[in-house]
Amino acid sequence: MVSVRKTIMRKTSVLFAAVLLTAVAGLAKEPGASSTLPLSLIPQPVSVQVLPGAFRLQRGTAILVSPGVPEARQVGVYLASVVAAPTGFQLKVAEAAKGSSRRGAVVLSLTGGPHGSANPEGYDLEVTRRGVHIQAPSAAGLFYGVQTLLQLFPPEIESKTRHEASWTLPCVKIVDYPRFAWRGLMLDVSRQFFSKEFLKQYIDQMAKYKMNVFHMHLTDDQGWRVEIKSRPQLTKVGAWRVPRLGRLWERDPPREGEVATEGGFYTQDDIREVIAYAQERFITVVPEIEVPGHALAALAAYPELSCTGGPFRVNPGSKFYGEEDNALCPGNEKTFEFMDQVFSEVAALFPSPYVHIGGDECFKGFWKKCPKCQRRMVEEHLKDENELQSYLIRRVEKILAAKNKRLIGWDEILEGGLAPNASVMSWRGVRGGIAAAKMNHQVVMTPADYTYLDLYQGDPSLEPTAYSRLLVSTCYRFEPVPEGLDPKYILGGQGPLWTEFVTNPRAAEYMTWPRAFALSEVLWSPRESRNWDDFTQRMETHFQRLDAAQVNYSRAVYDVAMTPVRDSAGKLALRLSTEVNGCDIYYTFDGTNPDNFMTKYQGEPVEVPGDAYVVKAIAYRSGRPSGRILSLEVKELTERLGVEKK
C-alpha cells in the first residue's frame, strides 16, 4: 500500500505530543482494570494463582508426553531444543508410560484441562515443587502452555549461548485461552526482500507471544517474491529492480539500459521450508498476491496483461501512482487465465485456508480509457469501474473456491459489491469491517490508526524515517470488536509491517517490538484485564528477554514528548511527558544536553524564554537515563503549535 494509504494515514506531526498525553492519561487509570500480576507474562493469562515454592529444572529433568500422540512429542522436542542452548541441558523426551513416576518431570498431556479445554487453543499449566504439568485439548494448546512456561524462567532462557543460572520456576496454577482465533502479523516482503532465515527468526518471536498467523505480502509494484513455475518471467523479471537510495517516491525512475540487480524471490522449496517451520510453531502462513492493482512487478514480466501494453519496469521507489499503469486489465480474458495459473500454484503451495488477494488502492483511470474494460462493463451491465473491480474479485473468488480456498482482501473489495463468501481485512479504520460484518462476512481488524507497525513510534526527530504515528499505548487501546457488533464475525486482528522505509531485518524488528507485545495482549487476553501501567512493567522484563535473544526493539516509550501550548499571557509554553508513567524529566533552554542535575519538570506547562532557540529534554527512571535526548528548535515548536490550533 503506497499512495492513498499514506494520504489517508498522514497525520500532522505536530499533534503527536497531545495525542501522547491523551493516551497516557486515558490508560493510566483505566476503570475496571485488574490488579498488577506478580509475574511478567505477555500476553496476560486469563487466570494466574501463585503458590509457595519453586521447581528447578535440572540436567536430568525429563519431558514426558502423552503416549502415541506425535503432536505432543513435537511440542516436547520443541521445548527441549529451546532450553538446550541457554541451560546446556539435553533433556530427554519420552512417552509417559502408565503408572510411571512423573516426579521431577515436565509433563505434556494432550487430554484437555478442566478449564482451558473449552477453547481448542487453551491450556492449563501447573508448576509444583514436584514438577510441571501442562494439559490441553490440542497440540496448539500445549505449545502455548510451553510459551508461558518459558516466560516463567529468567530472561537468560532466550539466550543462544550457555548461561550459569538457577533455572527455577515459581509454583503457579494458570488457566488460559485466547480471546480471538486470528492473531497475526504481516510482513511486506515485496518492497524489501528478507531472507528465509530472517523469516524463521520473525516467526520464532511471533510464536513466543502466541501469535498464530503470518501474513506474507508477496507481490506489489516493487517486486514479485514467489516462484510460479508456469509463469517464470514473474521472478526472472518481476523480482528485480534497479538499486536506489534517497527519499522514497523522490527516487529516479529506471534509466534506459540500467540493469535491475536489487531484489530476490523465494523458490517453492523455500516457501515449503518456511511453512513447515511455521507449522511446527502452530502458525498459519497466509499468502497475499495483489490483484488487480499494485501489479507493476507482474506487468513488467507480462505487459500484455495491462490496459496500455507497457513497457513496464519494476518500481524502485520513484513517483508513479496515477501516472503509470499498474493494474491488471479486467477486460482482457488473458488476465483471468493468468490469475488462474498463479492461484493454482499458490493454493497448492500454501496449506492456509485463506488466500489474500489485496484489492486495495487500485487506480482505475486507465480502465476508463481501455476499450476492453469498457466493453466488459457493457456486456456485464456494470455501472462504473468500482463494479468492474468487484466483477474481477468475484471471478477470483470462484477461482479460489475451485481450489478449496477462501478469499480475503483489504476493505476496498467492498466497493462495487462484496464477493459472496469473501472475508475482509479492514485497514481504513473499522468502518469497512463493520460493513462487512453486518453483511455476515468474517472480518480481520487491521485499522491503520491502531495496528500499522510502519509508523513513527515517537517524535520524528528521534525515529527512523516513517510517516504518521502509532504509539505502544495506542496499540494497547485497540479494540477489535466495535460497540454493538456481533463478535462472532470478528476473526481477530493483525499488525501489518509495510516496508517502504524498512530496509533491513534489524529495522523490521525495531518497528515490530514492543508494539507487537501490545497487539498480542489485545488479541489473546480478556478485554477487562487490560491495564497500561501493569503492562508496561511486564514489558520492561520482556525488553531483557529481547536483549538476551539479540532481537532489536524500540525504547521510544521512554522518550520525552513536547506539547507546545500558550500560557495565560499568550507566551509559548511546553508540557513534557513520557508514554510510560513514573519517569522524571529534565530539560534545558541553553543548548546543553540535560541530565538529572538540570531543571526537573514539575508537571505544569513551563514557559519557553523569549530568547531561547532550542529546548532539550530527557527522561530518567530510577536515577538512570531511560530515553534519548529530545532536541527541538523553538521555531519548530512554534510551527507545531500553529498547525495544532488549525
CA distance 578 to 424: 36
Rounded Cα gap, residues 411 and 430, in angstroms: 9
Q: How far apart are CA 342 and CA 503, in angstroms?
A: 27
Closest CA to 557 of 534, 574, 540: 540
Q: Cα–Cα distance between 563 and 573 in angstroms, integer?
A: 8
Cα(575)–Cα(507) distance, integer angstroms:
30
**Is 30 noted as a catalytic residue in this protein?**
no
Determine which one of 156, 188, 290, 361 is catalytic.
361
Q: Quick check: is 220 catalytic? A: yes
Three-point CA angle 493, 195, 339, nearest 5°: 65
Considering 220, 290, 324, 463, which one is annotated as catalytic? Answer: 220
- Nearest-angstrom CA–CA distance, 140 and 147: 11
Instruction: Report cis status (omega within 30 of 0) of the bond before 253.
Output: no
What whole-number distance in Å separates Cα of residue 296 and Cα of residue 400? 22
Which among 498, 523, 494 is positioned nearest to 426, based on CA atoms? Answer: 494
Residue whose C-alpha cell is 538446550: 84
- Which residues are CB-contacts of 64 (< 8 A; sequence separation ≥ 6)? 76, 94, 95, 96, 100, 102, 105, 106, 107, 108
Which pairs count as long-range contacts for 150-153, CB under 8 Å and 24+ apart, including other chains?
Answer: 150/79, 150/82, 150/83, 150/208, 151/39, 151/40, 151/41, 151/42, 151/208, 151/545, 152/39, 152/41, 152/127, 153/57
N-terminal to C-terminal alpha carbon distance within the chain: 29
Catalytic residue among 133, 294, 356, 542: 294
Phi (first) and psi of residue 252, to 5 degrees: -70, 140
Query: Distance (Å, rounded) from C-alpha 172 to C-alpha 127?
Result: 5
- 294 a catalytic residue: yes
Beta bridge partners of 490: 443
Residue recorded with cell 507482474: 298
Q: How far apart are CA 244 and CA 222, in angstroms?
A: 12
Residues that are catalytic: 220, 294, 361
